[in-house]
Structure 1
Amino acid sequence: MNRLLILGTAIAALFAAPAFAQAPTTILNASYDVARELFAAENEAFVKQHPGVTVDQSHAGTSKQARSIVEGLEADVVTFNQVTDVNFLVKQGFVSEDWQKDFANDASPFYSFPSFLVRAGNPKNIKDWSDLARDDVHAVFPNPKTSGNARYTYLAAYAWANEAYNGDTEKIEAYITKIFDNVPVFDTGGRAATTTFVEREIGDVLITFEAETRGIVKQYGADKVEGVTPSVSLLAEFPVAIVDKVADKRGSRELAKSYLDFLYTEEGQRIAAEFGHRVQNEKVAAEFKDKFPEIRLVNVDDVFGGWDKIQEEHFTSGGTLDKLYGSR
């Protein structure tokens, strides 16, 4: 009788075990605004290798995404376009301080840079950053206060001006202010800016990541828009990280890591390259070399002294961006 009682108690306890005792098969990836098609393809390929797994997506400007996670969005991983937004999550206790050591290339599986998209035939003859300050050129890009995409545009333009004006702060800031004055509408994210330029036909040039310009030409046709590669631009790394606070709570760390690891595999890298991103894998990069024009890229460390300094001088409240952007 005692043995039966013990056995019955054990069985009852087994069936009463909480659901979270088993690792989840679903994770959420919070990503940047213009990466919808890229991660739809990456997710499909990943799930084929992991039957029964689901990867859900959330897309918005990465600064907005980071704030949403702090406010309760339970994203297991982030695939952002700006290091500062991951570091924001670090300061809020959601991501570990050494997150860039968790994956190769400082946790950046692929990269791009701010580039131009113009009307077919390039009627305004827009070739480089200097053209964005012309009176007859209206540039379209999202609000740099809400979009990592736009912050890269701001930094790339600033880096070009820094060279062009030999570090003369007054001339650099006058140039940036002129570009801001020439923007007809500031959307909150990169995809909305694309819609403004391509579908609403507002503006003369869209500034966004090269990967996005290539995708737009493919989608809408070279008879409507064409890409222009400037003489120099700013290296835009796309950082990835496990959201430790969420993954540990949900028990999803193993699945989250497998997902981010997949982005570094040949298959994951090839998908990224097909969607216009420049990749870290040497074999895949060689396969796509002829499809990407050469460009001189500068980085935030050399031009600005690193992301921490950028945050302190440019993006903090009352910083250079606030000063130049004003009340727009």
Structure 2
Amino acid sequence: MILPVIKKCIACFFTLVLSGGVQATVLLNSSYDVSRELFLALNIVFEKQWAQMYPNDILTIKQSHAGSSKQALSILQGLKADVVTYNQVTDVQILHDRGKLIPFNWQERLPNSSSPFYSTMAFLVRKGNPKNIQDWQDLARKDVRLIFANPKTSGNGRYAWLAAWGAANLTNGNNTLQTRKFMTQLLHNVEVFDTGGRGATTTFVSHRIGDVLISFESEVNTIRDRYAQQGYEVIVPATNILAKFPVTWIDKNLTQNHTEKAAKAYLHYLYTPSAQKIMTHFYYRVNNQRLMTINKDRFPYTKFFAIEKMFGSWDRIIKMHFSSGGELDQLLSERHE
């Protein structure tokens, strides 16, 4: 008796879809490696809000995750993502520069240069902090073994590299020779360069390799909470990098996918108090000062330095540090000498 009723309901649904009474919209969000849990929580709320506003439009948000640079390359190679939520500007900008998929002024379309939230770098150490890690300088000690993502493939890794370089530079009074010496020793201490931030977490937590995991503040706090029985501790260094997380819709793909209304509404939703509250629960910092005050115990004070002031444009950063023959390659070669 139940089976015929189910078949009838299914038939009615497809009749409505085919007749234009109900439509199904699917959004694909291409995001960085360690944002899975955040966007899972955000998507559930937004899908419910969309259903209330548009009861005849069934919205499903799908996710694609990897190192942000790999994600951007996938889009250039044909991945039909509707929106991107990355962790560095260059991985969005390349969608204009190499693919003409978005306009040059994409950062002007949403508030805060199209960055609804931000973060910084932090250290995850094992129970009791046995190596007494307190700041960046401790990471260059000969008895410390490090895990962080590969700066060649991961925005997470690039921020870790730039944060360490910038902090060292401020400590030694902009002495480039001393900074390069510090970074060479830091590289010497790296046990594994995973391609993305979540891979680095797996290496540290599941394979128990290394003394310190360097990753986004959001990631290390989430891991500490999830594995509370293991007693991990989080260290936020006193001087740190300001990491803005840019988002945009992919204009060319929206036209092909017929998803413009939903995609734009989704990214605007990320700026709402309800979405920003969810972000703070996952240890992301937001520009809503009221929420930051309420959650001040979750976000230790750190003295931020801006990427542009310390290093210049992202184009200059990529060329100097991460391109073939750049600082990363040079210091890696020195490490093995």
Structures share a fold, TM > 0.5? yes
The residue that corresponds to 2:173 in the other structure is: 166
Q: 1:138 to 1:320 in 2, by over 3 A?
A: same
Secondary structure at the residue paired with 1:53?
A: strand
Residue among 183, 197, 202 paired with 1:195: 202
**Runs of 4+ residues over 4 Å off in structure 1:** none
The residue that corresponds to 1:215 in the other structure is: 222
Secondary structure at the residue paired with 2:182?
A: helix
RMSD, aligned α-carbons: 2.1
Q: Distance in 2 between matches of 1:304 and 1:250?
A: 38
The residue that corresponds to 1:27 in the other structure is: 27
Q: Does residue 84 in structure 1 map to residue 90 in structure 2?
A: yes
Q: Does residue 143 in structure 1 map to residue 150 in structure 2?
A: yes
Q: Distance in 2 between matches of 1:244 and 1:315?
A: 29
The residue that corresponds to 2:7 in the other structure is: none
The residue that corresponds to 2:3 in the other structure is: none
Q: Does residue 293 in structure 1 map to residue 300 in structure 2?
A: yes
Q: Give deviations 1:155-182, integer Å, cap 9, x for gaps.
A: 0011011112222222211211211111
Q: Give deviations 1:101-140, integer Å, cap 9, x for gaps.
A: 1111111111110111100110000000001111000011
Q: When the two structures are aligned, how many residues end up with a matched partner? A: 311
Q: Give deviations 1:180-234, integer Å, cap 9, x for gaps.
A: 1111111111011101111111100000011111101110006421101111110
Identity, % of aligned positions = 48
The residue that corresponds to 1:15 in the other structure is: none
Q: Distance in 2 between matches of 1:203 and 1:141?
A: 10
TM-score (norm 1): 0.90
Q: Distance in 2 between matches of 1:79 and 1:35?
A: 9
Given that 1:31 and 1:78 are in contact with CA atoms closer than 8 Å, whether structure 2 keeps it comes out as yes
Residue among 55, 67, 73 paired with 1:67: 73
Give unmatched runs, 5+ long, in structure 1: 1-17
Q: Distance in 2 between matches of 1:19 and 1:165?
A: 69
Q: 1:155 to 1:222 in 2, by over 3 A?
A: farther
Q: Give the drift of 1:19.
A: 11
Q: Does residue 105 in structure 1 map to residue 112 in structure 2?
A: yes
Q: Distance in 2 between matches of 1:169 and 1:222?
A: 42
Q: Distance in 1 between matches of 2:255 and 2:181?
A: 48
Q: Does residue 236 in structure 1 map to residue 238 in structure 2?
A: no
Q: Distance in 2 between matches of 1:271 and 1:248?
A: 30
Q: Distance in 2 between matches of 1:69 and 1:322?
A: 27
Given that 2:238 and 2:301 are in contact with CA atoms closer than 8 Å, whether structure 1 keeps it comes out as no
Q: 1:211 to 1:173 in 2, by over 3 A?
A: same
